């Protein structure tokens, strides 16, 4: 009777270990999300910023680490230290923007132009409330769709 219990425990342990190894191996080799060819949650820049500024906890649950397709007007175009293009979209709130790091060079775009930008939402930055500086909503691995 005692030998039978040991066999059951050993077999159960081996099954659980095999399952854990298989899931870990799959997750490790899965690769990054294909943002460019994925569909995203469609939302305007103003609505996305409004969601984060009114209830950031709910907005984080709904949008954070998810692909969003944001429609908005380009406020500014610049480059960062990694030589990646940064596009900010107007939100309707002075001093607050949707900050997008562009993954690949798009066709020519201009400030004031209306665009769709698809990327992974990272959430809202803190800003500096004491100085009146609002936090931006950040998107990474972005692609521009005209």
User: Which residues are within 8 A (CB) of 100 and not within 5 positions of it... i.e. 6 or more apart?
Assistant: 70, 86, 87, 88, 89, 117, 119, 138, 139, 142
- Determine the straight-line distance between the first and last CA of the chain, rounded to whole angstroms: 71
User: Which residues are within 8 A (CB) of 86 and not within 5 positions of it... i.e. 6 or more apart?
Assistant: 76, 77, 78, 79, 80, 99, 100, 101, 102
What's residue 132's pLDDT? 66
pTM of the complete model: 0.76
Phi-psi region of 68 (alpha: psi -120 to 50; beta: other; left: phi over 0): beta
Other CB atoms within a 10 A radius of the CB of residue 116 amount to 14
Q: Please, is 43 exposed, middle or buried when counting C-beta atoms within 10 Å of its C-beta (0-12, 13-18, 19+)? A: buried
Please name which of 84, 56, 96 lies closest in space to residue 141, comparing C-alpha atoms. 84
Please name which of 2, 98, 9 lies closest in space to residue 50, comparing C-alpha atoms. 98
DSSP, collapsed to helix, strand or coil, labels residue 121 as strand
Encode the chain (146 residues) as per-residue pLDDT tens digits. Answer: 566 888 888 899 999 999 999 988 888 887 677 787 788 899 999 999 999 989 989 999 999 999 999 999 999 999 888 888 999 999 988 889 999 999 887 678 889 999 999 999 998 887 776 666 788 899 999 998 86
- Cβ atoms of 46 and 54 within 8 Å: the answer is no
Please name which of 31, 126, 137 lies closest in space to residue 87, comparing C-alpha atoms. 137
């Amino acid at each position: 009777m005692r030998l039978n219990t040991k066999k059951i425990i050993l077999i159960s342990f081996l099954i659980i270990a095999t399952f854990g190894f298989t899931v870990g191996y799959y997750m490790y080799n899965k690769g990054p999300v294909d943002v460019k060819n994925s569909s995203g949650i469609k939302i305007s820049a103003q609505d996305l910023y409004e969601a984060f500024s009114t209830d950031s906890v709910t907005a984080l649950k709904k949008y954070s680490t998810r692909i969003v397709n944001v429609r908005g007007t380009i406020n500014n175009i610049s480059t960062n230290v990694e030589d990646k293009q940064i596009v900010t979209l107007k939100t309707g709130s002075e001093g607050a923007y949707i900050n997008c790091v562009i993954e690949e060079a798009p066709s020519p775009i201009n400030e004031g132009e209306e665009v769709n930008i698809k990327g992974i939402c990272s959430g809202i930055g803190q800003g500096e409330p004491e100085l009146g500086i609002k936090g931006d909503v950040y998107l990474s691995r972005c692609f521009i769709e005209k």
